[in-house]
């Protein structure tokens, strides 16, 4: 039995609709129902942990998304298993988004859109893929996939992660000792890190200082990775060329936020990629059966590491 566990009303409705459409009617229940006492898995987004801890059969807390920062892993610790949703269509959607972002800067479309407002006609050189250096922060299932895809297209790709990785045709860096070297060659820096206590505010002055002159930022990690005022300062100074932002510390982004009006910032409303609801439901159903039977879980998270 799966219990829907969220404190966000609109997400509650999304999950109810999704499970109603894609799951057997007797496979899920609501948090305040009698059936919740027999629930073995909680599908969650900002759940009420006080309530979940009272469910006697609960074994698994399952994020409804790829991220798990909304689950309070520090409190969960090792008392429950934790899983997240990973999907090929989700990866493909992210690749499409990032490919658009890279081409936006590679083909100087940012300059063309700015020129249009000023009625200027100026042509820019066409840069080949092999000329462009892309840096990807985070080489997990999502970031590793992106690194492979962009390397296959002929870009110069480097990646950084906390633990060592080995990806064909990708220059892999790991740990604090490699961080500065990695940043020094990233003309377009893509952030796909999970949000942890150790990397909040990682997109900040220290990092921006180490990037090449006129580097560009694409943030598809979490809004809390970015120190917004630092980014604005570096864009205004001309040190950074531009930024594409899909995630924000507070969503929706407030109406009067300076990021809305900045000519060097592209804003998208947290739409880089989403797994289809059918995939979300089926992965959670699968993991619920696995946890009941004592089998290895799909996409399990290390609660101590945070990813």
pLDDT at residue 184, as a whole number: 98
pLDDT at residue 180, as a whole number: 98
Does 162 qualify as catalytic in the annotation?
no
Task: List, for residues 185-206, the tens digit of each pLDDT value.
Answer: 999 999 999 999 999 999 999 9
Q: What is the pTM of this model?
A: 0.93
Task: List, for residues 14-33, the tens digit of each pLDDT value.
Answer: 999 999 999 999 999 999 99
pLDDT at residue 37, as a whole number: 97
Does 222 qualify as catalytic in the annotation?
yes
pLDDT at residue 186, as a whole number: 98
pLDDT at residue 266, as a whole number: 98
Q: What is the three-state SS of the chain?
A: CEEEEECCHHHHHHHHHHHHHHCCCCCEEECCCHHHHHCCEEEEECCCHHHHCCCCCCCEEEECCCCCHHHCHHHHCCCCEEECCCCHHHHHHHHHHHHHHHHHHHCCHHHHHHHHHHCCCCCCCCCCHHHCEEEEECCCHHHHHHHHHHHHCCCEEEEEECCCCCCCCCEEEEHHHHHHHHHCCCCEEEECCCCCCCCCCCECHHHHHHCCCCEEEEECCCHHHECHHHHHHHHHHCCEEEEEECCCCCCCCCCCCHHHHCCCEEECCCCCCCCCHHHHHHHHHHHHHHHHHCCCCCCECCCCCCC
pLDDT at residue 22, as a whole number: 98
Residue ranges for the chain with pLDDT beneath 50 = none
Residue of 162, 222, 225, 290 marked catalytic: 222
Domains and CATH numbers, the chain: 2-87+275-293 (3.40.50.720), 90-267 (3.40.50.720)
């Amino acid at each position: 039995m799966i219990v829907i566990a969220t404190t966000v009303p609109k997400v509650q409705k999304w999950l109810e609709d999704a499970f109603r459409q894609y799951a057997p009617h007797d496979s899920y229940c609501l948090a305040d129902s009698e059936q919740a006492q027999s629930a073995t898995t909680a599908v969650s987004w900002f759940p009420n942990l006080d309530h979940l801890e009272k469910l006697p059969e609960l074994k698994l807390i399952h994020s409804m998304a790829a991220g798990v920062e909304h689950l309070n892993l520090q409190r969960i610790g090792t008392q429950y298993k934790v899983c997240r949703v990973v999907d090929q269509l989700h990866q493909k959607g992210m690749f499409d988004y990032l490919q658009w972002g890279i081409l936006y800067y590679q083909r100087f479309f940012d300059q063309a859109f700015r020129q249009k407002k000023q009625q200027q006609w100026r042509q820019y050189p066409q840069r080949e893929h092999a000329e462009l250096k892309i840096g990807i922060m985070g080489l997990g299932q999502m970031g590793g996939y992106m690194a492979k895809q962009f390397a296959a297209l002929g870009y110069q790709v480097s990646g950084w992660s906390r633990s060592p990785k080995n990806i064909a045709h990708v220059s892999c860096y790991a740990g604090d000792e490699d961080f500065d070297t990695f940043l020094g060659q990233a003309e377009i820096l893509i952030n796909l890190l999970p949000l942890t206590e150790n990397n909040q505010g990682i997109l900040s002055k220290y990092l921006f200082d180490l990037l090449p002159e006129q580097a560009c930022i694409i943030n598809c990690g979490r809004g809390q990775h970015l120190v917004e005022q630092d980014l604005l300062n570096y864009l205004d100074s001309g040190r950074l060329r531009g930024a594409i932002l899909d995630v924000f510390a507070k969503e929706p982004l407030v109406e009067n936020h300076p990021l809305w009006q900045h000519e060097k910032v592209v804003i998208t409303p947290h739409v880089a990629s989403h797994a289809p609801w059918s995939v979300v439901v089926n992965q959670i159903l699968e993991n619920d059966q696995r946890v009941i039977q004592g089998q290895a879980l799909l996409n399990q998270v290390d609660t101590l590491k945070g990813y």
